[in-house]
């Protein structure tokens, strides 16, 4: 499997393209507009430069990696892909529309993978005529640094598709872990209730934000506390994922803390908006 296509060059897509190129693959990166492509490539270039500055790679290695990324805004040009990794915005309609289109454009043996963090792989697969070739490849942010790929099997995903994606993840230097398709998979099903509980503890005045984060850092050896992590992920993203868990399981144990809802209403979305549980 050599011909990799990444759709969407945002936070995740440019990291996936970077990682594929850095591990020797030729990768095509698709965006909707030239300026977004330029921005994605300049982000990859900047991130690679950091490696050069630290003496981890030479300038010619950086250039070789960049030259393996083929940027394009022409979706029709990807017909020869062996695998497409989708990393567009987290929106069911946008994803099902895109997968129906990919199903029409790509050759029948091409695998269609989604980097979704919370949308059902089974649902995305149902928009295609090849649900056995649709799978989740859930990379973590920042992609070049984080080793996990949560590989999610939809109800119809075949063993062969799983094997090919497991193999590709390893060749990209990652550690794949197999998970079945239920709301939140494993990563967010376990992480988001913990973050939500930390927010409830703050809301109820059990401890300050620093104390809550401090207990989890020092006591549980987490590299950052749950409130800091929530700010990093984005409070709107945390809320959206909790809603997916709440509606997907129909279980009130996933009810988002009212403080989280209020902060999102206020536009306090964490690091990206300058204010969340902390100020940036
Ligand atoms: P983002 O908003 O940074 O990037 C999405 C990009 O996709 C944008 O640049 C947009 O122009 C492009 N795009 C939209 N429609 C397109 C189309 N039809 N063709 C080509 N490009 C298109 O989003 P981000 O954060 O990179 O998230 C992407 C996916 O990865 C989402 O499904 C998200 O849930 C998932 N994810 C995000 C993580 C994160 O920490 N940001 C972590 C793990 C998964």
pLDDT tens per residue, range 15-39 = 999 999 999 999 999 999 999 999 9
Residue 198 is part of a domain; what is its CATH number?
Answer: 1.10.1040.10
Number of domains the chain is built from: 2
In a domain, 279, yes or no: no
Tell me, in angstroms, the distance from the centre of ligand 1 to residue 265's CA: 22
On whether the CB atoms of residues 188 and 206 are closer than 8 A, the answer is: no
Based on the fold, state whether residues 203 and 245 are members of the same structural domain: yes
Residue where a domain terminates, one of 157, 180, 203: 180
In a domain, 260, yes or no: yes
Residue 138 is among the residues annotated as catalytic for this protein:
yes
Q: Are residues 172 and 207 in the same domain?
A: no
Ligand 1 pocket, 115 CB below 6 A? yes
Read off the pLDDT of residues 97-153 as tens digits, 9 standing for 90 and up: 999 999 999 999 999 999 999 999 999 999 999 999 999 999 999 999 999 999 999
81 with 210, same domain: the answer is no
Report the candidate in 38, 32, 30, 35 with the shortest Cα–Cα distance to residue 13.
30
**146 and 41 within one domain:** yes
Q: Is 186 exposed, middle or buried (0-12, 13-18, 19+ CB in 10 A)?
A: middle
Q: In this structure, are 110 and 205 located in the same domain?
A: no
- Kindly name the residue from 18, 150, 169, 187 that is annotated as catalytic: 150
CATH number assigned to the domain comprising residue 117: 3.40.50.720
Same-domain status, 57 and 136: yes
30, 135: one domain:
yes
Element (H, E) at 28: strand 26-30
On whether the pTM is more than 0.75, the answer is: yes
Strand order in the sheet with 148-153: 69-72, 26-30, 3-7, 83-86, 111-114, 134-139, 148-153, 175-180
CB 29 less than 6 A from any atom of ligand 1? no
pLDDT in tens, 43-77: 999 999 999 999 999 999 999 999 999 999 999 99
Residue 217 lies in a domain: yes
- Domain of 236 in residue numbering reads as 189-271
Check whether residue 203 and residue 148 sit in a common domain. no
**End residue of a domain, out of 156, 180, 204:** 180
Choice from 5, 9, 13 to test ligand 1 binding pocket (greatest atom count within 8 A of CB) = 13
Closest residue by Cα to atom 3, ligand 1, is: 10
Q: Is 30 in the pocket of ligand 1 (CB under 6 A)?
A: yes
Domain closes at, from 180, 210, 242: 180
Q: Looking at the structure, do residues 40 and 144 belong to the same domain, yes or no?
A: yes
Do 155 and 58 share a structural domain? yes
Q: Whose CA is nearest to atom 25 of ligand 1?
A: 11
pLDDT in tens, 206-258: 999 999 999 999 999 999 999 999 999 999 999 999 999 999 999 999 999 99
pLDDT at 2 over 90: no
């Amino acid at each position: 499997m050599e011909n990799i296509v990444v759709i969407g060059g945002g936070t995740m897509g440019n990291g996936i393209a970077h990682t594929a190129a850095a591990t020797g693959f030729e990768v095509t990166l698709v965006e909707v507009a030239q300026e977004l492509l330029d921005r994605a490539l300049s982000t990859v270039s900047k991130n690679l430069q950091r490696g050069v500055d630290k003496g981890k790679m030479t300038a010619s290695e950086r250039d070789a990696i960049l030259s393996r990324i083929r940027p394009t805004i022409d979706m029709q040009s990807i017909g020869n892909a062996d695998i497409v990794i989708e990393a567009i915005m987290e929106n069911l309609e946008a994803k099902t529309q895109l997968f129906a289109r990919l199903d029409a454009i790509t050759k029948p043996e091409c695998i269609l993978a989604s980097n979704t963090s919370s949308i059902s792989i089974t649902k995305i697969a149902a928009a295609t005529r090849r649900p056995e070739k649709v799978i989740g490849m859930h990379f973590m942010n920042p992609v070049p640094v984080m080793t996990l790929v949560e590989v999610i099997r939809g109800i119809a995903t075949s063993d062969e598709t799983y094997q090919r994606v497991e193999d590709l993840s390893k060749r990209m230097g990652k550690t794949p872990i197999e998970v079945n398709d239920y709301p939140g998979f494993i990563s967010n099903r376990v992480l988001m209730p913990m973050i939500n509980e930390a927010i409830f503890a703050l809301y109820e005045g059990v401890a300050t934000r620093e104390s809550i984060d401090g207990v989890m850092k020092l006591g549980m050896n987490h590299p950052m506390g749950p409130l800091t992590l929530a700010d990093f992920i984005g409070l709107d993203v945390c809320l959206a994922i909790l809603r997916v868990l709440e509606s997907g399981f129909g279980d009130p144990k996933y009810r988002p803390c009212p403080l989280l809802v209020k902060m999102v209403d206020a536009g306090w979305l964490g690091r990206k908006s300058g204010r969340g549980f902390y100020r940036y």
